[in-house]
Structure formats: structure tokens, C-alpha cells
Amino acid sequence: MQRILVILTFLGAILSLNAQTSRVKFNVEVDPQFAWFSSDDETVEPNGSIFQVHAGLNMDFYFAENYAFVLGVGINNLGGNLLYADSTEFSSKGETLLVEPNQSVKLNLQYIDIPVGLKLKTEELGYATYFLQLGFNPMINLNAKASSEDASFDKVDIKESIISFYLGYHVGIGIEYKLGGSTALIGGVRWSSGFTDVTDNDRTNVTLNALSIHLGVLF
């Protein structure tokens, strides 16, 4: 994660040199977040959240003074705990993992996140501007680990049981506090949820949720 942040900051600094006279702004963000699942079936119930981190680089393309299209790329770590009322199976490198009835499983999922959206900003008030941001989060799964409550398996690779593509959405509010020139600190709160299923379990539709503290630097 530290290497990712260094690379993203370096890229943001370089790209900002080419964008100082343009309508494009770059920001590097690191968002601590609590993530959990939602389910539409009683046989698979959410059973608690987990703490994760999202890190990324965003580009704001301003088409008007206070309105911008947003395009980004990042690493999004999500997941949560699921309680299975019936026995269920996960695939792990060609093998089958059995989850006994009434057992909870903790899933840690990592995605490449490609957020696209719209940012609406206020006029500058002192050194600060406030914004609303909303959009979609197409994501591609990179890693998936599972740990059972009864310790029959721990941090086992279950990528085969996770659907590769996931589509979510986000809504957030925040503040940009100007430090000097085009540089500003960013802070805010962001909510995200999803449209598509996470796992290949046909019995239920499981989606991801996250509540994030949005922290970043604008170049």
C-alpha cells in the first residue's frame, strides 16, 4: 500500500505540471473506510463490517467554472462478514471449501477501481470550497481471501468464487482547503454501494457497501 501511494503521488505531481494552465486538476486520495455486505436472501445475512483502505488518483475535467467530470483509477479494498444459514461451498484453486450451516465467513476483496462521475463545487469561501461528488464505480477483482469463523480455513484464496466485474456507485461531500497556488487539501465523507452480485452463489444477490473518510491532496 505504501508503494502504491508513493507511485500515485509521483504521477499526480508530474501530471499536474502539464495541467497548470489547463482545465484539468489531479488529486491523490487515501480513504480509510468501513465495508460490509448487503443480501437479498435470509439464508445469507450480513454479519458485521471490516476496516479497509482505498487509494487512488483522480482527474477532474472542468467543463465550467464549478463543474467537472471525474475519472480515476485506484485500488479498492472491500469486504465484510457473511453468515450462512445453510451449508455452502467456495472454490479455492480447484479445491472445494465447505462452510457448515450457521457459520460466519470473513471476505477480504481487492479491486481495481475506475470511478467516473460528476463534481459540483461552490464558489471559494475564504480559502475553502465545498463540493458534492457522485458517480459510478466499475471494478475488476484482483484478490479474494476468505476466513471461516470456526477456523477450518484462514485467508484462503477464493477468487474463483468471486465475479470478476462489479459495478457500484458513490455519493460524497467534502471540502477543498487551499494551501497555495493550485495545491489544496481535501477532506470529506463518501458513501458507496453496488448494483451487481459479488459472489457466484446463485441463491442470493450479495452487494458491497462502504462508508469512507475521504482524504487527499489536490495538485
Where exactly are the structural domains of the chain? Answer: 2-218
Q: How confident is the model at residue 14 (pLDDT cuts 50, 70, 90)?
A: very low
CA–CA gap between residue 19 and residue 126 (Å, rounded): 24
Radius of gyration of the chain measured on its C-alpha atoms: 19
Q: Please, what sign has the CA dihedral across residues 158, 160, 165, 168?
A: negative
Q: Supply the mean pLDDT for the chain.
A: 89
Q: Which of 14-23, 180-189, 198-207, 209-218 has the lowest mean pLDDT?
A: 14-23
Give pLDDT tens digits for 153-208: 899 999 999 999 999 999 999 999 999 888 899 999 999 999 999 999 877 899 99
Give, in words, the CATH class of 2-218. Answer: mainly beta
Question: φ and ψ at 8, to 5 degrees?
Answer: -65, -40
Percent of the chain scoring above 90 in pLDDT: 71
Mean pLDDT of the region 87-98? 88
Q: Residue 166 has which C-alpha cell?
A: 462489479
Q: Highest-confidence range of 12-26, 86-100, 161-175, by mean pLDDT?
A: 161-175
